[in-house]
Structure 1
């Protein structure tokens, strides 16, 4: 059997390798027409992006460079689309959305309805992952109408599947199943095996949610077999993950672990960190269901580390909850308590901007009330004018003098009513203006002014790339140990006092506060208005923050009270900034610059401001600053990085 498998592998490799080699030969031959080279690199990048997303992205960038020189819209669209898919597979959702949007602009400007529909459908998947489900459905229905008008059956089938995914996120399982089955039927008509497998996965997981688990197992097994025949490794890995979850719910843990192990091997080979993080979490939950606490703890901690490195708050929350329950099962109640505190902090981070949607609701209510008042005044005016006209006719018929008196009396009555209505209107307008001021103040506490204005004007704010931002992180040393010396009220009061001081400092230097996460504080310069603040501004702000916490520490120690020490780290580079979420949204930033800034903080010392070499190059000539070179310092996950302590001269 082993020899048969080896022969089969060699046959497959032998058939695929020459095709790949021939494509590379075409791409490398610069004497060939650009159109031929673009076709070759497009095939190479599209194949690579699903197997090795980083490699696919690198190839798509080469494809984009050549497409830009040639100016061919179709080639540009294909390059942007492949880049977007690669970033989505790497869980870089803002970058994925940016490139899907560029693909959409190319399709629209070249009047290509088919690719316009595809881009709209692709963008919807990112909005779904970001939690903006109404926006996702809106884009999907736009895409569906275009494909139906074109008679594009494959596009319609794909969009039905995406609509089903969105309804599933809304827990409307019957609507989801209806759309999945439409998709499967259309793919079956087309003979599209991969599309049918995708629909089967969706149908199977939905049947599992509805409690029909035996049916779900059969459908997922069929999908896995199709993906195996097609050589679709990433899709097969995800289907194994799904089947493992269903089997866990059925109490068939041994079978579930076999599928999780198969999926994990695929994800590690493809460096697919997002699904790998979920795989560890699903394995941990399966171990917990068996009472195997040590294995559950190991798996969930691995998932948590990956989710933490990717900045995936929801997955961090799931994994932290799993860690907490595993620790409690082992009897480590102190560790479970710490995990619970971390879980609650993540929960608070996910919920802290809930008022944002309420602000928009108040805006809509205010507009509605203003319209009601305007309509009411118009009706009063119309009634008054009609009554006057009637009075004039009556005066002509029954005698001008008598009816004139009656008309005047009636006019006075109506005028009195109108006056009362106007007074009510003025009071209402004042109340509405007051509510608007409160709404604006609340919105500006949640979002930058520029972003809030765009959100109110358009109903959404687009993500943007900032090439030269400087990110600041702070963290309290020994926070957990110190917090045990304070009551809950004292702890909250002290953190509040510290962070209020930091808020005042970022306002002084026009630096943008991004968020707080537990005892950590995050801010950035150079965004959303790149001219408002610089790297030097945020370094000066960091020194003021250090002094503020140091002064507060001195005062509390003098009074015999526990006090915090703070580390501060900064790094400069490109970031993507934007709003995420729909029911609870927040302004946030992403990118490797953010991760490196966090490492600057953790690699620093209490009471010192630690900056990267990149930030140093930007501020080294700033008057009033002096620097202490630290040489190469090891940073977790980053290797050895050159760092500097900064002080006032």
Structure 2
């Protein structure tokens, strides 16, 4: 029976595939070999779990930990069992249980233990500090573990600690330092071939770039995260990858965002990860709420509540409860919301978690206000403010020991890459304001008065900079769309029958990132994209967006015209020539260089504005997907066009075409394609 249970734990390791990380192969070999002692196999399996190299069902992992702690006379094995316990409870966000096993592990660890054993204790302590929001302690523990990992030259462990360091630094506002840590982790993963760790690095890069307001780049890394997770086929990686993609997908298509959330939930539950599944239900509820589907939003929250374990953390239970009360208020079910808010307040008013006490006080204040109980609403709002003040006082104490961060350097570095310093200032302010709004959501939507004050302050500033704001609007939206937005306060999405869409992508961009430092890489990318901007402007086509190292533009919008196909093909050829000239110069200088693929397709699209706060002009439809497939099905140094585009430009003077016949395109089957060139 014991051997069978261990096999169950190891099941997911069998589908990981080959890796350049010999340490994982060695641990897997030890854990699978029935000739080894059970203690040796248990030890190896625990190491695999702690390193995230296998992802067993959480209940199986807890059973494994119990067996390890039950081994009499083997203190080291019991120590690792406590670490596995703490690791799983940390994933479930049950802080009290994490602390129990952390304390037990600290008591068990021998004074003579090796550095790598001590390092895992730091990892667990960093997780515990992270869960309680003590970012300084989390960073200190992670850096201590990082030193030990480097001492024993354990690259897999080093990446884990770099990820913990970057997470804490990001929470402390030290985004440039966080990016340095992530860049170091990325270099290690690509050198060792540790694709599992690379998934987590992509997630970290996405989070950090989102924090500084570069949402396009953040979404690009989320996409890479999902693609790599899908290749690895692990439930835990796919769960977080789908949830990370849910929000960006919802910006384009609400139902697609919900589908991603559903996928994340399914993969979470497959390994017993109820906590992550609840996050998925919460995201699904917020998207449904945004769409005005209140019943569906409430149903998603009820599903999250229904799967809560008996030992669910106060933080998670309170959050779900106040979220449910908020939806009930929006549905006009004020009496139910008030009853729920009062029950939550009575249950959690003495919680040790200040956030929980804030949420329930805020929720009750809002519910009392909804029912016209103004005196009671004010009383609980005062309680909320007092709790908020106490948290701010604690934060001020912590800030005394924080390392001062040079924000201007960060802004300038980003300005160099985007060439829009004023836009970045607005983006940074928006990120800060959205963070406040997000915290308000978690608190039960009761910070209306506080938000109003912030809004008025920002409105006055914006009033003084109205001209700059209008210029910025024209910089991010087509003129016709910007005018409609200013006149009506909104811009309707429109269907355009024929638009020609262009996609570019650089070959070997990841390899380039290994050879160039982050600053040089961004500088080269900025040079290319700036040239592309000038080219599309010259040909009267519209830049849509950049996605990581990809560039997207379209002709024939926002105002339809008859020259869109020719305009886009000519622009594509100029882009190709610009990159070819740059490649020749770089080769002559002995420097790394970019190579490019370009794809073009023509068809109908829907065009309009994405979002309600950060406006972005975007296009949707199968035409966009097909243009992307033209790029990925092309070859380096070539402009690959579809048959539809070919029929529109085949008689253009100065163009020559090379038929490729039917070429397999991912998700599209076989399609006729042509290379186009000049001469």
Structure 2 length normalisation: TM-score? Answer: 0.45
Structure index of larger Rg:
1
Decide which structure has greater helix share.
Answer: 1
